[in-house]
């Protein structure tokens, strides 16, 4: 089986359902792996032969926070070039700054309104899985 295109790291079941519903409208429901905490995300990533094309990372996670996950991803050669979009409800400037300092490729605040939420996610997916060209180094890594 092909590795999932997206790793969703999300502990809120309501947000998870909204994200998966939106991904279904894009035909991506079978291309998502969901991790419900930071430790599960790293176990999945470092146990995979090849990382997903995109990681959607919430910051407020149990067991290991999103910033710790991001830091671990960026210091490991297997995942350092994998695009990470922080997709979170936090609007704290320190979270934004720290996310970028640790190597996030993008920081998107989750809108409260479902239509805005779905539209923001569609734009993220369209860009990272449609328009963006992955690093050739990322593709040659195994």
Other Cβ atoms less than 10 A from the Cβ of 109: the count is 14
Question: Which residue's entry shows tokens 């092909």?
Answer: 2
Rounded to the nearest 5 degrees, what angle is found at the Cα of 87, between the Cα atoms of 24 and 77?
Answer: 100
State residue 1's pLDDT score: 37
| pLDDT, tens digit only, all 142 positions of the chain | 355 689 999 999 999 999 999 999 888 878 899 999 999 999 999 998 888 999 999 999 999 999 999 999 999 999 999 999 999 999 999 999 999 999 999 999 999 999 999 999 999 999 999 898 888 776 444 4
Show the tokens assigned to 73.
Answer: 């991803």
What is the per-residue pLDDT for 142?
41
Taking only Cα atoms into account, the Rg of the chain, rounded to an integer number of angstroms, comes to 14
Q: What pLDDT is stored for residue 27 in this prediction?
A: 86
Within 10 angstroms of residue 92's Cβ, the number of other Cβ atoms is 10
Q: Kindly state which CATH superfamily the domain 6-139 is placed in.
A: Response regulator (3.40.50.2300)
Domain ranges of the chain: 6-139
């Amino acid at each position: 089986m092909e590795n999932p295109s997206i790793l969703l790291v999300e502990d809120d079941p309501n947000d998870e359902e909204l994200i998966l519903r939106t991904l279904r409208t894009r035909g991506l429901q079978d291309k998502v792996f969901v991790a419900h905490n930071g430790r599960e995300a790293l176990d999945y990533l470092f146990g995979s032969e090849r990382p997903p094309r995109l990681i959607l990372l919430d910051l407020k996670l149990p067991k290991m926070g999103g910033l710790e996950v991001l830091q671990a991803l960026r210091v490991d050669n297997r995942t350092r070039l994998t695009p990470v979009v922080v997709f979170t409800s936090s609007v704290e400037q320190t979270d934004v700054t720290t996310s970028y300092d640790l190597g996030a490729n993008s920081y998107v605040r989750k809108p409260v309104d479902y239509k805005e939420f779905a539209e923001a996610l569609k734009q993220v997916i369209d860009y990272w899985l449609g328009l963006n060209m992955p690093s050739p180094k990322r593709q040659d890594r195994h």
